[in-house]
Amino acid sequence: MPRTARLDLPDLLQHVIVRGVNRCDIFLYDADRGRFLQTLSKLLVQTGTECLAWSLMTNHIHLLLRPRNTRLASLMRRLLTGYAVYFNLRHKRSGHLFQNRYKSIVCEEDAYLLELVRYIHLNPLRAGLVKDLAALDRYAWSGHSVIMGKAALEWQVIDEILSLFSKGKREARRRYRLFVADGVVLGKRNDLGGGRRMSRELKGERGEEPYDERVLGSGKFVEELRGRRELELKFPKSMEIEEIVAKVCRHFGVDPQELRLNVRAARIVNARSVICYLAVRQGGHSGVEAGRYVNLRRAGVSVAAGRGEKMVKDAPVLLSLIDK
């Protein structure tokens, strides 16, 4: 049976699970784990991807990622290839290290963000890598210790998580830890780790909500993803960014050189927004590359792309701009 294509869209929360081939160990020493985190850190910054939770087990990895400017596949390819080369050289082995495909599950944030953070961070405790919650608080190979303030990683998103518990960090950490402790009592939820998967196609049956095995969320969320996916498929994937800029500028009556000026006329803002959306979220170009054409930093490109997506949905005629 052919593999189902991943739902690899920017600005979506994704639970990523990577396993060693034939369940082999992918970390033999702490030095291996440190090398993996070093590579992950560099790629998160380069690709503008946010990491909200993570845990490194013995033969598998859990990551909770939110790509902003590029697609997840690019980051994962570079991360896993780079680490596999390192691991094989260091431990004098050859062949594949990881299963052919990592698993990525698109998750509905409002319903599942905190549940996933707890699930991922409790994995070392449930697997017996640490003996209790106190040990997990200081465990170096899980993002839980970072949220608890026992370790520091610049690339891990912690303020967003803590803000969901309280405005003050001390109280937020206390409530977060109680939340994690409740998870120990409640036991493992197989659905959060991909154990409960459903149909392989986006569809709805009479009397049932639409569902998808690649999605953890409500029927409404699945429908929203289907709309984004259908819109995405109308775009060619190989259009050069220069051509995107030229066609969008022609539509809005903007000289491409005007995009580089520090002006916020409506037509220029609109052109920038549509360019960022088409180039980054649909064309696979980096936020840094798009920023060079529209005079925006990486964060500004992400915001502009969000506006551009709304514009494209509201005005389908913009789709014709990228027809070959």
CATH number at residue 90: 3.30.70.1290
Question: Distance (Å, rounded) from C-alpha 139 to C-alpha 150?
Answer: 9
The reply to whether 203 and 272 lie within a common domain is no
Q: Per the domain annotation, does 107 fall within a domain?
A: yes
Q: Is the pLDDT of residue 234 over 60?
A: no
The pLDDT value given to residue 189: 75
Which of 176, 196, 224 represents a domain boundary (last residue)?
224
The reply to whether 43 and 192 lie within a common domain is yes
Half-sphere exposure of 53 (CA within 13 A, CB side): 24
Q: Per the domain annotation, does 230 fall within a domain?
A: no
Contacts 24+ apart (CB under 8 A), 114-117: 114/161, 114/164, 114/179, 115/189, 115/192, 116/13, 116/15, 116/53, 116/64, 116/192, 117/52, 117/53, 117/64, 117/143, 117/147, 117/161
pTM of the model: 0.69
The pLDDT value given to residue 126: 94
Q: Quick one: CA torsion of 198, 220, 236, 214, rounded to 10 degrees?
A: -20
Q: Per the domain annotation, does 6 fall within a domain?
A: no
| CB-based contact 12:66 (threshold 8 Å) | yes
The pLDDT value given to residue 279: 84
Q: Per the domain annotation, does 231 fall within a domain?
A: no
Which of 224, 247, 273 represents a domain boundary (last residue)?
224
Question: Containing domain of residue 282, as a range?
Answer: 236-322
The reply to whether 138 and 166 lie within a common domain is yes
Q: Per the domain annotation, does 205 fall within a domain?
A: yes
What is the rounded average pLDDT for all residues in the chain?
86
Least confident of 11-25, 186-200, 262-276: 186-200
Average pLDDT over residues 145-174: 95
Q: How confident is the model at residue 47 (pLDDT cuts 50, 70, 90)?
A: confident
The reply to whether 296 and 219 lie within a common domain is no
How many domains, in total, are found in the chain? 2
The reply to whether 65 and 158 lie within a common domain is yes
The pLDDT value given to residue 4: 60
Q: Per the domain annotation, does 229 fall within a domain?
A: no
Which of 165, 189, 224 represents a domain boundary (last residue)?
224
The reply to whether 135 and 216 lie within a common domain is yes
Q: In what order do the strands lie in the sheet with 49-56?
A: 49-56, 60-67, 13-19, 103-107, 215-216
Helices and strands (H and E) in the chain: how many? 13, 5
Average pLDDT over residues 92-100: 89
CB proximity list for 205: less than 8 A, separation 6 or greater: none
The pLDDT value given to residue 191: 72
Average pLDDT over residues 129-152: 96
Looking at the chain, list the stretches that DSSP marks H as alpha helix, in order from N- to C-terminal side. 30-47, 72-90, 109-121, 123-126, 133-137, 144-147, 159-163, 169-186, 219-232, 241-252, 266-276, 287-294, 298-314
The reply to whether 144 and 93 lie within a common domain is yes
The reply to whether 157 and 272 lie within a common domain is no
The reply to whether 215 and 265 lie within a common domain is no
Question: What is the amino acid identity at position 38?
Answer: Q
The pLDDT value given to residue 199: 38
Q: Per the domain annotation, does 110 fall within a domain?
A: yes
The pLDDT value given to residue 147: 97
The reply to whether 266 and 196 lie within a common domain is no
| CB-based contact 64:117 (threshold 8 Å) | yes
Question: Distance (Å, rounded) from C-alpha 283 to C-alpha 279?
Answer: 5
Q: Is residue 291 classed as helix, strand or coil in its secondary structure?
A: helix
| CB-based contact 245:271 (threshold 8 Å) | no
In our burial notation (b when 16+ CB lie closer than 10 A, e otherwise), range 134-169 reads eebbebebbbbbbbbeebebebbbbeebbeebeeee
Question: Distance (Å, rounded) from C-alpha 144 to C-alpha 147?
Answer: 5
CATH code of residue 244? 1.10.1750.10
Average pLDDT over residues 107-136: 95
Question: Distance (Å, rounded) from C-alpha 49 to C-alpha 196?
Answer: 27
The reply to whether 68 and 155 lie within a common domain is yes
Q: Per the domain annotation, does 102 fall within a domain?
A: yes
The reply to whether 134 and 247 lie within a common domain is no
What proportions of the chain, in percent to the nearest 5, are helix, strand and coil?
55, 10, 35
